[in-house]
Structure 1
Amino acid sequence: MLMPLPLTIPSARPRVTLTVWLADLTYTQQAVSAETMPQAVAGLATYAASRMDLDHPVRLFKYPEALAEALEQDGPPDVIGFSHYIWNSQLSLAFAGLIKERFPRTTVVFGGPHYPLRLPEQTVFWRERLAGRVDFYVDGEGEAAFADLLLALSRRDRDDVRGSLPGVHRMNSDGTLYAPPPRPRIHDLSDVPSPYALGLMDEFFDGKLVPTVQTNRGCPFKCTFCQEGTSYFQKVAKKNTQHIHDELHAIGRHMKPLVEAGTARNELLITDSNFGMYPEDHETCRVIAECQRLYGWPRVVNVTTGKNQRDRVLSAVAQVPGAISLSGAVQSLDPDVLRTIARTNIDAGKLMEIALAAADTGTGTYSEVILALPGDSKAKHLGTLRQLVDAGFNRINMFQLTLLPGSEMCTDEYRSEHGLVTKWRVMPRCYGSYTVLGEELRAAELDEVCVTVPEMPYEDYRECRVMNLLLAALYNDGLFTALPAVLRAHQISPMTWLERARTLSHGPALAAVLKEFAVETDEQLWDERTDLLAYATENIDRYVEGHLGNNLLYTYRSRVLSEALDDTADPAARACLAVLRETGVGVGGGSLVEALVREAAEYHRLTLADVFRTDPPEVLRQSARFDLDALLAAARRRDGVRDPRSFRLTESGMREFVLTAEQQRTLSTYMGQFGTTPWGVGRLLTKVRLADIVRHVRMTPSPGTAPAPAGTESSRT
């Protein structure tokens, strides 16, 4: 009897037997530097698994210690991929170099935005940094190109895989770089299965890392300093609403017990470039609000909101009141600078309207400014700050111009055309040493910052940095908000107040902090990358211990608010009185205006006094002559606060400044993660909303707490 032959049906999905590891490394010794969960490399894993049958699940790594342990205990994989960003480049290269030395058969793949745009610069980049350590670099989007590479490596030797795969670059032994153009981008991001929904991210809910998602990718704007400003990223790809719903709820279920136990920061990071600008973002905010109700998470959503579409952005964010701060990331308000950096398709005025309209609903607002952009000058930079302060933003984030390899601004042609003079510095918190396979690996990350442009000599650059520090310390987050309120009532710009505070004499503590800031601004900058890299790796311990390599603006702001808080409140009050006097406001001889200003400065000092101690006093007290809470409420409503008699108490009272139990838990969580050193507190101040940690103010019961009617007592105004 003849038996039929079994039919062999070819699988629609190829089988891949390679062992694959993916690493999105971060430094960990001073603090966890890049606190994001490794969702980007996890997306490479889920996309690859959707296109092929992997005999071995892809392993993911975030911490260098975990990767070192795996190499020691489990041996090398067939393929290891590293994310390559400005904050982990040298760390990834250190691991890659050792792996190639010990396990030359392992294929090392890099991918990420820290890679030049053009072939001549890519060739130099390979020869100086990648050669001998990296086999392939994925240029452009990674998911599809990395999957193509895995399939190719499963079928043939890696030496035969060169120049044949779009976006997969490889340097030949003779120094020839094979660099085909990037693979076309993914049109529907839902084609990348969610690593959260599939459980790949479970191990990273450890209380240290922040859940990170991307609901769309790409940017329609063309800013020359940004890696998404190129034509490759002009179109925006999106995830569908069901994908986002499932992903956020999967995260929420993991975060709920951590948040309830107080062992994790109650945050979500969305890496979209223009959140709120698209109709789908409205539904995303609805899902976030749903997660807040079900899981008590997220309390804070960190995201860059859209640069256009004012009403759409406001409508989306209104669904999660208080969770998202509205951004007006203008970078500069000078028309010539904006033209030079190709931001002409962004209406800076509309951008400010978005944030300021949100302020009327109680939503936090912030703007961003970059120092030393092409065409910038001291007058233009300070003028931009003045306009933003006058517009009412309650926080201005001030950055130095970093030249990113994947941006147009970093090309040789652009540098030469616009006269950019740059120096190198060590990136804050991005350094460490790790024992791997019995060897010590030392690494530190550097970034290249512009310090001089034709209209801004270095001396002006440094003075702008000092003004940035004073603005951050005196103005940002409403630290002394009653004083700008009084000034605005008299049509005086708070920037005039800040500039006057710069010129006044300072107490010894504040004077020392400002002097050391200027000195360290100079000392952290190096002319040659290789010299600084050698110095940093030799002195890693000094960096880890906090003696070197800190974010100066954050660190010195924390020093102003801790070491020099008393000295800071005094010039804040004196500068306010000085500019009032110059405009004809009577402030001498014990006037009510002077009394109000001095009481307000002391009020704000006490809200922050001793907050950053591990054992802060629970209650502080102040005698009260004015109802400052009423004044601040009137200022928020944009009512008049010109007449101090409107806020005079009929009888003096006593004010108490209290740290609540919830605030103490918040501070304990953050200081436990970042420490109580100046650089640790500086980092804390970038992550927590100041309103969440400043002392609550209450008046002791008294029959005389009602404001006196205007006109009941003469006032020198």
Structure 2
Amino acid sequence: MKKCKIYFADLTHTARGISVPTFPLGTSLTASYTKKELGSEVDVTLFKFPEALHEAILDSPPDILCLSSYSWCFELGYKLGSLAKNRNPGMILVFGGPNFPIEETEKTSFLQRYNAIDFFIELEGELGLVGLINHLLDHSLDSGCLRASGKILNNLNYVWEGKLFNGPPVRVSDPNIIPSPYLEGLMDEFFEYPISPMIETVRGCPFQCTFCADGIDIKSSIRKFDLARIEEEMVYIAKRCKKSDELIITDLNFGMYQQDVETAKSLANTMQKYNWPIHLSAAAGKNKPDRLIEIASILDGAWIIGSAMESSDTDVLKAIKRGNISKKAFNKVLEHGNNSSPYAQTYTEIILAIPKDSKETHFNSIRYGMKHEAKIIRMFQAILLLGTEMATQKTRDEHELETQYRVIPGSAGLYKFFDEKIPITEIEEIIVGNSTMSFEDYLDCRLMNLIVESFYNNAMFEEIYAFLYEMDILPLDIFVYLKDHPKIYPPKIKQIMDDFIVSNKKNLFKTRKELEDFALNEKTIKKFIDAEIGINEILVGKSSLYSQFESMVELLITSVSGYLRENDKMSACTQHYLNELGRFTVFRKKEFFNTDDETKETFDFDFKAIGQLGFKVSPSQLDMFSKKVVIRFYNDEWQKHHIKQVMGVYSMTPSGLGRAIQRSNLKKFWRQFDQFDK
């Protein structure tokens, strides 16, 4: 009997490098389960890159093509899938993933618009897809025959003669029935690429945030993978992963469950034995601060811990159905995280322009994070994702959401499929205003987001802020001064700031159709590929500012000095210390990717002693640290290797460098220094 050939693909755009540099975990889990359940009846192959999938379809078309539906890859998958189906009419096209509406009328419209899709698997893919394939095999792989029957199957959505057929959503009760795609060898080929492996240890989320596809009721129960399996996966990956120093745990609330402690212990053992990973990325749970602290201690600086708050305002939180941890717990997590190791950092997260948000509440949320000394404040745009409550018409109307459309940065390209050049873009809808925030306020908040991202995050100028904290001055006070005094900007910094606002405006379109009409042609797509348009404004702005690092330092010192003078807190000694600290920062942190750079400089303060205090000195203490010293700045061999690994994942383009700065723990990049008496 001929095997049913099934291709699984979780595609990434590649026109500007690998847009999503991660292993295809979700699709691989579905493929692994399909292979287990259907055994000798199927032949399963996994893909990530569109070029490889295209060649495989040309060479040997599948009976069933299964593609993932995420906002950053859906159009790419649909275009390739629909073209393949046109050439091979008997091929069955199946999509699955979170990028799918939750209301029935919108589901119907979606499937009618993308009418090459035979079936859409909603929520978890494993059970729904295997059930579908079994029925297709019963119908001799005739999708039309199955759809004409009106059969209702779990998790399955399809349209036949204008009518939607959608089965009840179900979840895997025990995820351990899904074989590990790593241990099954399905992922082996991806270790050859500079992408980061991902694992899942827990499924589900007990919270109901309206902006998240996992906030729906059916996702609320928690299902856990066995620890023994997790340990095996970690070791398997660590032995093979040579091109990325990062492991991603995709759990929605890592650190909230007791098993997470055991997972952390296993990971720590793996790190000790294989010197991998160097960095763990995982979203921290919010209800167990003591457990987060325990896990952070076990991982010894490899995991940047914190707590996402989205907003510190109670009305905003009520509008998005979110509750945050208490101020006491928040402070406890951040305080421990900041002191757990020399490389430790902490974070919080804020979303701009969500329902009830305003310029005032957004700035207050930033202030709240800084007051508790979160070292990284991640500020996100509010994206209306399909499959979320916030994207429903009810929420849009209730909160007067003003939205515009943009091409997802890095997710556009000109692809040659079946001898035809095809321009493809992924488009997202973002909130740029609401009943309490105007578009002008949105732009002002975006400018502040650039300033915070560039001048605050990732320990960029923590030595300066440690000095300010000793005077009860928050960095945000300086940033407001900086934002409101553009005349003090060095010329190149002024140009970058102006370009940032212009880019924010010109990359937005009122309607999806208007954007499609503009973007979907070869000439315009090449502009996206060349990053002339459609950039990630924050990342490119941050990268551009970092390229002018000495001017950044000059602007920051000027802003601090101006603020201190306005508030009668400036002295000659303080000014001299700030100038010297600025110079120290330049030599330690400029051009971090230039690891061969080694310099010696003379300074007027004992920065070794000040550094041992975490740079927490007050103006009244400066005289005791006044001392002529020579400092040698350099990268050690471990740093050189780690920086090379990171830069291998992210390109040296402005957006690539910006992403490397944003996603890496830069404390591990900053040059070491030795100090000698003058």
Q: TM-score range by the shorter chain?
A: over 0.9
Query: What amino acid is the match of 1:680?
Result: G
CA distance in 1 between counterparts of 2:235 and 2:644 reads 28
Taking the TM superposition and a 5 Å limit, the aligned residue runs for 1:87-102 are 87-102=72-87
Spell out, residue by residue over 1:448-477, the C-alpha distance to the aligned partner (whole angstroms, 9 max, x if none).
Answer: 100001111111110111111111111112
1:529 matched to 2:505: no
Name the counterpart of 1:4. none
The yes-or-no answer on 1:395 pairing with 2:341 is no
Q: Is 1:61 paired with 2:37?
A: no
1:430 & 1:347 partners in 2: Cα distance?
38
Instruction: Select 2:197's aligned residue among 204, 208, 211.
Output: 211
Please state if 1:619 is matched with 2:598: yes
Q: Deviations over 1:5-59 (max 9, x none)?
A: xxxxxxxxxx993111101111112121111211211111221233223334300
Structure 2 unaligned residues grouped into runs of 5+: none
CA distance in 2, matches of 1:352, 1:555: 32
What is the one-letter code of the residue matched to 1:98? L
2:35 counterpart residue number: 49
Match in the other structure for 2:652: 676
Cα offset, 1:513, TM superposition:
0.6
Q: Which residue of 533, 548, 551 maps to 1:567?
A: 551
- Residue 647 of structure 1, CA deviation: 5.0
In structure 2, relative to structure 1, the CA distance for the partners of 1:429 and 1:604 (3 Å cut) is: same
Aligned-partner Cα distance in 2 for 1:80–1:646: 71
* Equivalent position to 1:658, from 613, 634, 647: 634
Question: Are 1:494 and 2:475 matched, yes or no?
Answer: yes
Q: Distance in 2 between matches of 1:647 and 1:495?
A: 29
CA shift, 1:661, in A, is 4.2
Task: Give the drift of 1:672.
Answer: 4.3
Give 1:11's aligned residue. Answer: none
Structure 1 residue 345 displacement after superposition: 6.4
Instruction: Give the match for residue 270 of structure 1.
Output: 249
The secondary structure found in structure 2 opposite 1:81 is strand
Q: Aligned equivalents of 1:435 and 1:460: distance in 2? A: 42
Distance 2:516 2:328 in 1: 42
**Shift, 1:607, TM fit:** 2.0
Structure 1 equivalent of residue 662 of structure 2: 686
Q: Does 1:366 align with 2:347?
A: yes
Task: State which of 406, 418, 429 in structure 2 corresponds to 1:448.
Answer: 429
1:577 aligns with 2:554: no
Residue 279 (structure 2) pairs with residue 300 (structure 1): yes
Instruction: Please say if residues 334 and 372 of structure 2, whose CA atoms lie closer than 8 Å, have aligned partners that are also in contact.
Output: no
* Residue of structure 2 equivalent to 1:645: 622
Other structure's SS at 2:35 match: helix
Out of 493, 497, 515, the residue aligned to residue 498 of structure 2 is 515
- 2:432 aligned partner, one-letter code: V
The 2-side partners of 1:552 and 1:210 are apart by 24
Structure 2 CA distance for aligned equivalents of residues 356 and 124 of structure 1: 49
Deviation at 1:547, TM superposition (A): 1.4
Match of 1:548, SS?
Answer: coil
Q: Which moved more, 1:43-52 or 1:187-196?
A: 43-52
Deviation at 1:671, TM superposition (A): 3.6
Aligned Cα root-mean-square deviation (Å): 1.9
User: Structure 2 residue aligned with 1:245, among 231, 234, 242?
Assistant: 231
Aligned to 2:254, what secondary structure does the other structure show? coil
Q: Please state how far the C-alpha of 1:612 moved relative to its aligned partner.
A: 4.5
Superposition pairs of residues 136-155 of structure 1, within 5 angstroms: 136-155=119-138
8 Å CA contact retained: 1:329, 1:351: no
- Aligned CA distance change for structure 1 residues 573 and 229 (closer, same or farther; 3 Å): same
Question: What one-letter code is carried by the residue in structure 1 that aligns with 2:175?
Answer: L
Once residues 101 and 535 of structure 1 are traced to their aligned partners in structure 2, the CA distance between those partners, rounded to angstroms, is: 26
Q: Which residue of 1 aligns with 2:166?
A: 179
Selected match of 1:316 from 295, 299, 307:
295
User: Cα distance, 1:604 vs. partner?
Assistant: 1.4
Deviations 1:254-277 (A, max 9, x none): 12xx2xxxxx11110110000011
**Cα distance in 2, alignment partners of residues 606 and 645 from structure 1:** 21
What residue number does 2:672 align with? 696
Matched, 1:550 2:515: no
The answer to whether the aligner puts 1:427 opposite 2:403 as a matched pair is no
Shift of 1:627: 2.0
1:476-507 deviation per Cα after TM superposition (whole angstroms, max 9, x unaligned): 12212222112111111221111112223211
Distance 1:673 1:212, change over 3 A: closer
Structure 1 residue ranges without an equivalent (≥5):
1-14, 259-263, 705-717
- CA 1:210/1:672 → structure 2, altered by over 3 Å: closer, same or farther? closer
One of 391, 398, 402 as aligned partner of 1:410 = 391
The 8 Å contact of residues 634 and 641 in structure 1, kept in 2 or not, is answered as no
Give the TM-score of the pair, scaled to structure 1.
Answer: 0.90
SS at match of 2:284: coil
Contact 1:277 1:309 in 2 (8 A): yes
Could you tell me which residue of structure 2 aligns to residue 12 of structure 1?
none
C-alpha distance in 2 between matches for 1:343 and 1:158: 42
Describe the superposition over 1:78-122 as per-residue Cα deviations: whole angstroms up to 9, x where unpaired: 111001101101100111110121111000000000001110111
Partner of residue 9, structure 1: none
Q: For 1:22, what is the secondary structure of its paired residue?
A: strand
CA distance in 1, matches of 2:389, 2:624: 54
> Structure 1 CA distance, aligned partners of 2:623 and 2:166?
71
Q: Partners in 2 of 1:352 and 1:547 — Cα distance?
A: 42
* Matching of residue 77 in structure 1 with residue 62 in structure 2: yes
Identity of aligned residues (%): 30
Letter in 1 for 2:563: V
The 1:336–1:16 alpha-carbon spacing in structure 2 relative to 1, beyond 3 Å, is farther
The one-character-per-residue Cα deviations of 1:591-639 (angstroms, maximum 9, x if unpaired) are: 21111111112221222223346xx761234321112343243247xx6
**Conserved? CA contact 2:256–2:284, under 8 Å:** yes
- 1:666: how far off? 3.6
Aligned pairs for 1:224-235 (under 5 A) are 224-235=210-221
Could you say which structure has the larger radius of gyration?
Answer: 1
1:462 aligns with 2:447: no
Aligned position for 1:135: 118
Aligned to 1:392, the other structure's residue is in SS state coil
Cα offset, 1:240, TM superposition? 1.1
